[in-house]
Structure 1
């Protein structure tokens, strides 16, 4: 039903946290596959992805992951983001009656004061992005990364929360 695509580089611990939050979705059949697009990690990112049963694409950009995805719907996530209870119902409801992209709502523990948000910079993929494969393919030809795709479109809000990945310069 859903292919999860994660771009990463040297985020082995963060990737493990994100993958752990997807286990329930895999068990329930909501997550069909997880594709990790690695931009040249020198840590154990490959090992984490391999042990979790992910499709690992070495030295790959987002477009390669989108092309490999087998599901109509994609979920683009930052390494370190964690989906909270209720996310599967929200994703299924959106896929059942919508055609446009959607983002999660920030969990209470992820909300920052206004000034902190300004100083840390905007991360367009912080709330994740659910998008159709066709839309993502079209956008990926113009936009080189998941963050650029997320920035280029507007999306409605899903009725589920995400714990935003901690800010990382890696």
Structure 2
């Protein structure tokens, strides 16, 4: 029913956290496949994806993952994001109505402080994105990223919550 795409580079621990939140969806048959689109990781990202049974696309962007996806509906996530209880029902209901794109509601514990929301920059994929394969293909011009797709689409809010990936540290 749903293909999950995760675009990553050197996020082995974050990827593992995200994949663990998808296990219930795989068991219930909601998650058909997980495709990890890796942009040149030098850590053990490949091992994490392989051990979890994901399709792994080395040196590939999300556009390649979208083309490979077998499901009509896609879920784009950042590595480190975790879906909370109730996400499967919300996605199934949304897909059942055949409506456009949707984002999860940010869980209270991962909401940014007011000034950070204003001045800290916006991460377009922080709330995930549920989108049809057809719409994603039309938005993934050339070798665009998952964030490019998320920026260019208007989406409604799902009732289910997501713990957004932590903000990457700038070293």
Q: TM-score, normalized by length of structure 1?
A: 0.97
Distance 2:52 2:12 in 1: 12
Q: Would the alpha carbon gap of residues 114 and 100 (structure 1) be closer, same or farther in structure 2, given more than 3 Å must change?
A: same
Shift of 1:109: 0.4
Q: TM-score, normalized by length of structure 2?
A: 0.96
Shift of 1:127: 0.2
Deviations 1:81-134 (A, max 9, x none): 000000000000000013200000000101122102233310000000000000
Matched with 1:160 is 160
Distance 2:13 2:120 in 1: 21
Query: Residue 103 of structure 1 contacts residue 155 of structure 1 at CA under 8 Å; is this kept in 2?
Result: yes
Shift of 1:169: 5.2
Query: Residue 19 of structure 2 contacts residue 52 of structure 2 at CA under 8 Å; is this kept in 1?
Result: yes
Distance 1:109 1:143 in 2: 34
CA RMSD of aligned residues (A): 1.2
Q: Which runs of 5+ in 2 are unaligned?
A: none
Deviations 1:15-55 (A, max 9, x none): 00000000000000000000000000000000000000000
Matched with 1:3 is 3
Distance 2:74 2:35 in 1: 10
Matched with 1:115 is 115
Matched with 2:29 is 29
Q: Secondary structure at the match of 1:32?
A: strand
Matched with 2:81 is 81
Distance 1:150 1:42 in 2: 26
Matched with 2:39 is 39
